[in-house]
């Protein structure tokens, strides 16, 4: 059974200051829709309708976004403006939302560990909303759910990355199972070009089996003094099986200004103008 999806959103979004001083970076809009809504829509399309946010200070706007605003609804009821709310109303109807706090920013691994109280003892999806993934067919998380049904193990999405970018990611080594799928044998967080075991970088989509929680608890602090998900995933790969999947679609790094602008232009031309 796979129905839950975690969204770690406790990060400060420092690269977007001052815009993110009082507003979560996940609420930055790509044209007329906040980043986080694209990500939640991808999860719903994949059948993961129980949405759990791991939040931090200053993230209240996300909660308000996925809740009914009665005053606003009343104000625009019966006017031509009602249709502007249709797409978020649909999301609110189709999914359930729960929230927990990450008390201290101790890294992505710690954020996921805090999410255990929302997902319990089941396999679950993880989406980093600042990676926007678009696909003309089934979304990236949907592709991964299909794979999970077949292989029943942890799956990470990977993308071939140019050398000058590789130091920003977790990078895998693996045995090729088929042209788009690898069984992971090694993983290094933010390697130098010389250390990188391949050009396959992990991006912000995961399906995790629940044994990851125990592994995270056993994982010592890693790079940058943070609890690194990559380190726990390596332990999982060594103990059992982790697959790396080269997804079909296009990814934009909306955590960086350049990626965010590229995504905005793409969404405006290809989604907004055609809707
Ligand atoms: P990043 O380090 O890329 O995002 O974390 P950030 O901290 O929000 O942005 P910058 O670097 O300051 O501009 C990747 C993802 O992991 C989450 C972030 O919210 C982001 O979605 N994260 C990271 C947590 O939820 N908790 C953490 O302790 C660390």
pLDDT value for 40 = 98
The ligand 1 atom nearest the CA atom of 130: 21
CA 107 to ligand 1: nearest atom: 28
Q: What are phi and psi of 75, to 5 degrees?
A: -60, -40
Q: What is the mean pLDDT of residues 205-232?
A: 96
Instruction: Provide residues with CB under 6 Å of ligand 1.
Output: 8-15, 25, 54, 102, 105-108, 110-111, 128, 130, 255
Which residue, 126, 173, 180, is CA-closest to 151?
180
Q: What is the pLDDT of residue 270?
A: 94
pLDDT in tens, 41-73: 999 999 999 999 999 988 999 999 999 888 998
The residue with greater pLDDT, 80 or 235, is 235
* pLDDT for 240: 87
When mean pLDDT is compared across 67-81, 105-119, 175-189, 253-267, the lowest value belongs to 67-81
Place 1 in a pLDDT band, splitting at 50, 70 and 90. Answer: confident
pLDDT digits over 181-209, tens only? Answer: 999 999 999 999 999 999 999 999 999 99
- Which stretches within 51-208 are classed as H helix? 60-65, 70-76, 86-94, 108-114, 116-119, 140-151
Please give the distance, rounded to the nearest whole angstrom, from the Cα atom of residue 13 to the centre of ligand 1: 7
CB burial string 60-89: b at 16+ within 10 A, e below: eebeebbeeeeeeeeeeeeeeeeeeeeebe
What spacing in Å lies between the alpha carbon of 77 and ligand 1's midpoint?
A: 38
Atom of ligand 1 at shortest distance to CA of 129? 21
Residue 256 has pLDDT above 90, yes or no: yes
Closest CA to 48 of 146, 134, 115, 135: 146
Q: What pTM did the predictor assign?
A: 0.96
9 CA from centroid of ligand 1 (Å): 7
CA 150: distance to chain centroid? 22
Least confident among 57-66, 81-90, 94-103, 139-148? 81-90
Tens of pLDDT, residues 15-40: 999 999 999 999 999 999 999 999 99
Looking at ligand 1, which atom is closest to the CA of residue 54? 25
Give residue 86's pLDDT band: very low, low, confident or very high (50, 70, 90): confident
Between CA 125 and CA 123, with CA 45 as vertex, the angle to 5 degrees is: 20
Q: What pLDDT sits at residue 112?
A: 98
Smallest CA separation from ligand 1 atom 3, residue: 255
């Amino acid at each position: 059974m796979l129905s839950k999806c975690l969204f770690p959103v406790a990060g400060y979004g420092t690269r977007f200051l001052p815009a993110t001083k009082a507003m979560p970076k996940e609420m930055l809009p790509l044209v007329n829709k906040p980043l986080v809504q694209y990500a939640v829509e991808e999860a719903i399309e994949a059948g993961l309708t129980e949405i759990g946010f791991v939040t931090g200070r200053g993230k209240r706007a996300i909660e308000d976004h996925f809740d009914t605003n009665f005053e606003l609804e009343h104000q625009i009821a019966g006017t031509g403006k009602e249709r502007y709310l249709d797409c978020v109303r649909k999301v609110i109807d189709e999914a359930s939302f729960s929230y927990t706090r990450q008390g201290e920013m101790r890294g992505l691994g710690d954020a996921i560990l805090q999410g255990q109280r929302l997902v319990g003892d089941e396999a679950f999806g993880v989406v980093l909303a600042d990676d926007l993934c678009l696909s003309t067919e089934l979304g990236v998380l949907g592709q991964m759910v299909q794979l999970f049904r077949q292989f029943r193990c942890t799956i990470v999405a990977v993308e071939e990355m140019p050398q000058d970018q590789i130091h920003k990611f977790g990078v895998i080594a693996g045995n090729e199972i088929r042209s788009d799928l690898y069984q992971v044998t090694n993983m290094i967080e933010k390697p130098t070009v010389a250390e990188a075991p391949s050009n396959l970088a992990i991006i912000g989509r995961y399906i995790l089996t629940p044994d990851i929680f125990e592994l995270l608890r056993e994982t010592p602090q890693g790079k940058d003094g943070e609890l690194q998900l990559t380190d726990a995933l390596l332990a999982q790969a060594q103990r059992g099986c982790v697959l790396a999947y080269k997804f079909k679609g296009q990814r934009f790094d909306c955590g960086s200004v350049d990626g965010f602008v590229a995504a905005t232009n793409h969404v405006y031309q290809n989604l907004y103008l055609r809707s």
